[in-house]
Structure 1
Amino acid sequence: MSPVRTVRPAPPSKRARPRRLGPGDRVFLTVIVGIPLLALLVFVWLPALASVGLSFTNWDGIALSDIRWTGLDNYREIFTNYPPFWPAVQHNVVWLLFTALLPTPFGIFLAYQLDRKIRFTRIYQTAIFLPMVLSLAVVGFIWEIIYNPDNGLLNGILSGAGSGQPIDWLGDPDLNLWAVLVASAWRHTGYIMILYLAGLKGFDPALKEAAALDGANGRQTFLRVVFPALKPVNIIILVVTVMESLRAFDIVYVLGGGTGSKPGMELLSLLITDNIIGESSHIGYGSALAVVLLVVSLLAICAFLVQTFRKEDK
């Protein structure tokens, strides 16, 4: 009779201890995290807080000893006795509505068409996105050549078609804002197209096939299936559109010939620049305008985000 062998249970395996960061790793993490945070603090948050403080003062920007506390006088002056403020607010609203109603939907339309695997898609994407690679200042210089009243491309085309006097697109107060909006839309369309095209690339094609089996055409599939499913991308696009409209400065600065409240082209960003670094510096006024623009931006974005997240919770 063979002896019974007892099987000993295997010793419990020791869990691998997490590797502790060495001194070199800690230095590396401190550098890659600390430097961006320091830059954000120095170049964003400190100037923002300084602007809030200076908005309650009167200062010409030369000597710190000349700073004089004025309380709410700057804000009272802005809303009552500062003529360019309300035209600037009106123009910013026009900028927002124009951008939201024309180049943004057109960019979404282009993205949907290019996602359908048409021929030369890469070439079309590159051509439409190319203005986004350029800075707004460069885009402004390009359109300044196009709008030139003497030998510009647009007036050349109109004169060839039998038009009369050349049009001063940037000098006419009734036309210059719309001319700048067209130049800005040329760049904004490519940006929206790329954002939405990235969202479409991650969309499940089975949903489109199911909609096609149910008898939906292309327009119905996009409006009832694709567009609601890309809600995160839609939120990003809306926030980007609002921010682009409120911080519009570069292209208006170039096409408007520099600072100065040019009739028809007043914007809040230009008024802030005029008062802070203009010939007659009014740091208090400029800072108060910057605070007003900051509050408007935060209120618009926060209200939209709160409303969106509330619907998602329901």
Structure 2
Amino acid sequence: MAKYKGINQLDGIDRVVVALMIIVPTLLVVALVWLPAVGSVLLSFTNWDGIGPVSSAKVVGLKNYTDVVTIYPPFWPAVQHNLIWFAVMFFIATPLGMFLAVLLDREMKGSRVYQTAFYLPVVLSLALIGFIWQLIYSRDQGLINAVTGSTIDWYGDPRYNLWAALLASSWRQTGYIMLLYLAGLKGVDPTLREAAKVDGAGERTTFFRVVFPVMAPINIIVLVVTVIESLRAFDLVWVINKGRNGLELISTLVTSNIVGEASRIGFGSALATFMLIISSVFIVIYLRIVMREQR
């Protein structure tokens, strides 16, 4: 009986632990993610400068959204830059990361060292990456101008600064994509490759006809991650020039309107809601695919 009672008490403790493990993260997510998101959506329908209580905000309906689309000059260049950012991340950084993953999956000599070297930029913040690449891009003391003898201001000239920032961001993104695909490759059933080899398929044919289709969930994850990373690209650009002079992005416009000199909380919240809607579309698509596969 004593033993049976102890087991029941242990089960009760387990239930409390499990409940806490569910409730505490849920409360944190609600408090730090969902409530601010809902608050931003609600504030986007108001005209509030952030001074005084929220109750003093004047409701303006859809005016902030119409102003963003029609009379706010930086908006459409920012949309264009975000699209360019996504295109570079998806069509350049992603294939390069996949190529590195395929090479490292062969377990070549020193693959662990190469994997660490390629992944190292991922653990660095984008702000720190901006400072690191400043040593390369600096007009007066940068490596590129010192080697080539040019005087181009890579971060200051609007003809070059977007592409310079994209190169620095791709340096980090490639390692992240490499790790995702490397995890996917490790999960592919080896018998599939052996069967393709028996049928006479080469390595390239085996990868594109057998391995790549099996990694469909990884491909969806990479797509969603790339879209979200392209939308929330902020740190690197803000470090360079606070998203001005050819480096306008939606995320920097949100910050400049909310915490800038002329604080416009409602207008900045409308911009943030645009980002939320776009990212939510891809997240919902991803969740539907994952749930369909689980069923």
Larger radius of gyration: 1
Query: What pairs up with 1:86-165 in 2 under 5 angstroms?
Result: 86-159=76-149, 165=150
Most deviating of 214-223 and 185-194: 214-223
User: Residue 190 in 1 paired to residue 175 in 2?
Assistant: yes
Contact 2:47/2:60 (CA < 8 Å) preserved in 1?
A: yes
Q: Does 1:293 align with 2:287?
A: no
- Residue 35 in structure 1 maps to residue 32 in structure 2: no
Letter paired with 1:278: G
Moved over 3 A (4+): 18-27, 300-306, 308-313
Query: How far did residue 32 of structure 1 move?
Result: 2.5
Q: Distance in 1 between matches of 2:281 and 2:178?
A: 27
- Contact in 1 for aligned 2:217/2:290 (Cα 8 Å): no
Question: How far apart, CA to CA, are the structure 1 residues paired with 2:265 and 2:49?
Answer: 6
Task: Tell me how far 1:267 sits from its aligned partner.
Answer: 0.4
Partner of 1:7: none
Asked if the contact 2:221/2:286 (under 8 Å) is kept, the reply is no
**Residue in structure 1 matched with residue 211 of structure 2 by the alignment:** 226
Q: How far is 1:51 from its partner?
A: 0.7
CA deviations 1:252-294 (Å, max 9, x no partner) are 11122xx3x4121000000000111111100010001111111
Q: CA deviation at 1:310?
A: 11
Greater Cα shift, 126-135 or 36-45: 36-45
Gap change, CA 1:263 and 1:188, over 3 Å in 2: same
Aligned AA (2:83): V
Deviation at residue 31 of structure 1 after TM alignment: 3.0
The question of whether the paired residues in 1 share the 8 Å contact of 2:180 and 2:222 is answered with: yes
> Structure 1-normalised TM-score?
0.86
The 5-angstrom pairing of residues 160-179 of structure 1 reads 165-179=150-164
The alpha carbon displacement at 1:30 in A equals 3.6
Residue identity in the other structure for 2:255 = T
Matches within 5 A, 1:241-280: 241-256=226-241, 259=242, 261-280=243-262
The SS at the match of 2:201 is coil
Task: Find the partner of 1:240 among 214, 225, 228.
Answer: 225
* The 10-residue stretch of structure 1 (291-300 or 182-191) with the greater mean CA deviation from structure 2: 291-300
Assess if the C-alpha contact under 8 Å between 1:51 and 1:290 holds in 2.
yes
Assess if the C-alpha contact under 8 Å between 1:106 and 1:189 holds in 2. Answer: yes
5+ long unaligned stretches in structure 2 = 1-6
Higher share of residues assigned helix: 2
1:180 is matched by which residue type in structure 2? A
The count of aligned residue pairs is 287
Name the CA shift for 1:236/1:300 in 2 (closer, same or farther; >3 Å): closer
CA 1:303–1:203 in 2, change beyond 3 Å: closer, same or farther? closer
Post-superposition offset of 1:299: 2.3
Separation of aligned partners in 2, 1:211 and 1:157: 48
Aligned CA RMSD, in angstroms, stands at 2.1
Alpha-carbon distance in structure 2 between the residues aligned to 1:98 and 1:269: 18
Secondary structure of 1:102's counterpart equals helix
Label 1:77 to 1:241 Cα distance change in 2 as closer, same or farther (>3 A): same
- Give unpaired runs (5+ residues) of structure 1: 1-17, 160-164
1:3-38 residue CA offsets vs partner (Å, 9 max, x unmatched): xxxxxxxxxxxxxxx957655444433433222112
How many Å separate the matches in 2 of 1:120 and 1:239? 31
Which letter maps to 2:30?
L
CA–CA separation in structure 1 for the residues paired with 2:263 and 2:12: 50
Output the CA distance in 1 between the equivalents of 2:292 and 2:10. 43
| Deviation for aligned residue 1:250 | 1.0
1:222 & 1:284 partners in 2: Cα distance?
A: 50
Q: Separation in 2 of the partners of 1:304 and 1:30? A: 28
